[in-house]
Copies of this chain bind each other. A is one copy, B any other.
Amino acid sequence: MEKTLLLTISYDGRPFSGWQRQPSRRTVQGELEEALSEILRRPVKVDGCSRTDAGVHALGQCASFSGEIKIPTENLAYALNNRLPGSIRIVECEEKPAGFHARFNSRGKTYLYRITTGPMKDPFRRDHVYHVTRPLDTERMRVAAGLIEGKHDFACFQAAGGQPRQTTVRTIYRLEVEERPWAPFSDMGLIGSAPAAGEAGRGSAGGESCGEEPAAAGREIRLHVTGDGFLYNMVRIITGTLVDVGEGKLAPEDIPAILAGGDRTRAGHTAPARGLYLARIYY
């Protein structure tokens, strides 16, 4: 029967040249359409909500498609996950009313950006966070974030090369700077385990979480950005700007003038793709 389906998709962006289908390149959309075409035994194209760049990750990308779909909706996610590479997972598959479109029906999105600070970066996170060796003043970053929230002309945070826009005015509903202590391997949860009673283990190598403070302690900072729409590289440029504020290269008080000037060169650097996650889309 004729159905319209919405897929929620997570992916590790590292192995791909972005979301959007391209000839001769491995893309998330390409892999998804290939798997769907095999299952449904006809060519299938999907409409993705957001075109994530090469190296950008997703927890909740959305894509819609419609047509004759003979497989029960509740089996499709399972069938797709059996065919897709392990770097792409279908989180959810839902039926939607005829005419539903993943991009046109979207009301807003949340992005997550992950940063770690400290003398040593975690090798397991090298393609999934932005590691900064200098400490960041998150209080100043929060002041700057408060000045970025709201409805503004965000032209100063737009990179060249995106689609021409009728307007660069957008609304950032929320820009949150979350921070916690962090050290490499702190998510491994090692239990202190000396080989024999009374004999101490060797140093604190490996980030033991029980008792000893790891030698290479730093911070993990997460930016949560929710808005009604985003210009090209806007979250990465906002992130780079906040990092520049955290490092003292820019002041929070500079933000209103940067916004008013509409000039990309007055804002901060563009943070790398690898720390960015499309977290959630709102319908």
A138 located at the interface, meaning its Cβ lies under 8 Å from any Cβ of chain B in the complex:
no
Q: Which of B8, B112, B174, B207 contacts A188 (CB 8 A)?
A: B112
A148 partner residues in chain B, CB cutoff 8 A: none
Interface size class of A (residues with CB under 8 A): 35 or more
Q: How far is the CA of A114 from the CA of B185 in the complex (A)?
A: 13
Using known A-B contacts A173-B195, A184-B10, A196-B173, determine if residue A280 contacts B120 with beta carbons closer than 8 Å: no
A194 partner residues in chain B, CB cutoff 8 A: 282
Q: Which residue in chain B gives the minimum CB-CB distance to A119?
A: B78
Q: A89-B121, A189-B222 are in contact. List 20 more A-B contacts (CB 8 A).
A: A8-B203, A8-B206, A10-B184, A10-B185, A10-B206, A11-B123, A12-B123, A59-B190, A60-B205, A60-B206, A86-B121, A88-B123, A89-B122, A108-B195, A110-B190, A124-B128, A173-B195, A187-B187, A193-B224, A206-B280
7 nearest CB pairs, A to B: A60-B206, A86-B126, A108-B195, A59-B206, A8-B205, A60-B205, A193-B226
Please list 7 pairs of residues, one from A and one from B, whose beta carbons are closer than 8 Å in the complex, sorted by A's number.
A59-B188, A86-B126, A91-B120, A91-B216, A174-B193, A176-B191, A206-B279
